[in-house]
Structure 1
Amino acid sequence: MKHTPPIIALDFASAQESLAFLDRFQGEKLFVKVGMELFYQEGPSVLEELNMRDCRIFLDLKCHDIPTTVYKAMKRLAGFGVNLVNVHAAGGKQMMEAALEGLEAGTAAGQKRPSLIAVTQLTSTSQDMLKHELLIETPLNDTVLHYSRLAEESGLDGVVCSVHEAEHIYQAVAPTFLTVTPGIRLEEDKNNDQVRVATPSYARENGVSAIVVGRSITQAEDPVSAYQKIALQWEGTKA
């Protein structure tokens, strides 16, 4: 999954809105993210629609529960035709191992299972929040690094992290380990509710595997042009 096109976060309330948005991208081979809002509204049917459009899909549900429940959930998700799914690393090693086992059990013979990554810390989390709200005294970068090592030990394919932690992660894990990074913005865009953000160029320079971009594309006046500009920066061609 290294060097994929930018993953577009379909942060819309309905399949109708999402598909109307995608209609603008005629001829583009897209990688899209379906999050909680869209999936909880539409269910698996929206994934079927996206598969019919030949989209690659990151199903971003961030499962976090007891190991047995996560195993069963992943066994179901494995049959939805998606390429990438995730859990919260804070669920612990046993839960992450159960998630992987569920995906493998639910993947049809001869098919490739979805890649599995673990959320380290949300890009909306700051050091101040970690310490004063979550009562975690360990520095933010250290918790991300620890969760990354734990995910690798559990057999997962990678993690969700901010761009700013990727370089440190790759000092501790295999180079094939995936770093999927949300919080990507064009330089002129607002941060909104995310704290640890970066530009596509900065992400490329720091060696991440994939970038996830939402509002910089979906709320742009011209989403196709915004996508192309981000893609060029991500590829290393000045937009």
Structure 2
Amino acid sequence: MLSYEEASDKVIVALDCDRARALELAELLSGRARWVKVGMTLFYAEGPVVVDDLRARGLSVFLDLKIYDIPFQVQGAVRAASLTGADLLSIHGLGASAMIRAARAGAEEAAFERDGARTRLLAISVLTSMGARALAEVGIFDPLPREVSRLAALSHSAGADGLVCSPQEAARMRSLLGPEALIVCPGVRPAGSAFADQRRVATPSQALAAGASQLVVGRPIAGAADPAGAFDAICAELMA
């Protein structure tokens, strides 16, 4: 059984909003949340300073930029993103092994420059908003589980620390990548919550039982009338 402290460490609150709301949520969740996710919407609007703001409040940051480009550009982008002090950073597994190795090199360069811990890299497999029909539209006709497994194995062997995948793939990814791999699952919805644009979802306790290291929860917390209460309810489910 998890303690409240252990349960809260499993939940990454997605701050898909503007800076003012992100800082408001950080205050509302003070003493509860340990992790937040900064995605493209917030980072592109505010830049690295928003990561500084959140880290100054004692929060660990998952910088979810889904970096994807030629290896030279990715190495530079990951270095720059890692210099913010972000704890986790997402890249696309579709960039193949050369791009992922370049990303790892960029993260290691930044760690040396900062004289600190290396930002850990999470590869994106298949977006949780996508299903078989969406994959077919972009020319991928393998079954979705096989595509996720292929990208996961490739990314991990090339230097990624783990994977972002839906809760429905978590058990398979844990078996494939081993006990030390980071498996971070978005698409987590407490029972009774709307799925919105997510397709491959699970409840927090289901995702954790399947092998997830951490869970990304956005709108069910950030959009709640009482974000602190919503956060506590998810922790209570994980502790049960």
- TM bin (shorter chain): over 0.9
* TM superposition shift of 1:2: 11
After superposing the two structures, state which structure 1 stretch, 120-129 or 22-31, moved more. 22-31
Q: For the residues of structure 2 that align with 1:152 and 1:117, how far apart are their CA atoms?
A: 9
Which consecutive unaligned segments of at least 5 residues does structure 1 have? none
TM-score, L = length of structure 1: 0.94
Is 1:4–1:209's contact at 8 Å kept on the other side of the alignment?
Answer: no
Q: For the residues of structure 2 that align with 1:89 and 1:2, how far apart are their CA atoms?
A: 28
Whether 1:89 aligns to 2:93 is yes
Whether 1:18 aligns to 2:22 is yes
* TM superposition shift of 1:3: 8.5
Matched with 1:61 is 65
Give the structure with the larger helix fraction: 2
Matched with 1:124 is 129
- What is the one-letter code of the residue matched to 1:99? A
Alpha-carbon spacing, 1:10–1:45, altered in 2? closer, same or farther (3 Å): same
Matched with 1:139 is 143
Is 1:3–1:209's contact at 8 Å kept on the other side of the alignment?
Answer: no
Q: Any idea what SS the aligned residue of 1:57 has?
A: strand
Whether 1:114 aligns to 2:122 is no
Is 2:7–2:235's contact at 8 Å kept on the other side of the alignment?
Answer: no
Give the % identical residues: 37
Which consecutive unaligned segments of at least 5 residues does structure 2 have? 1-5
Q: For the residues of structure 2 that align with 1:53 and 1:149, how far apart are their CA atoms?
A: 36
Structure 1 moving runs of 4+ over 6 Å: none
* 1:216-235 correspondence runs (5 A): 216-234=220-238
* TM superposition shift of 1:4: 3.1
Is 2:10–2:213's contact at 8 Å kept on the other side of the alignment?
Answer: no
Matched with 2:32 is 28
TM-score, L = length of structure 2: 0.93
Matched with 1:175 is 179
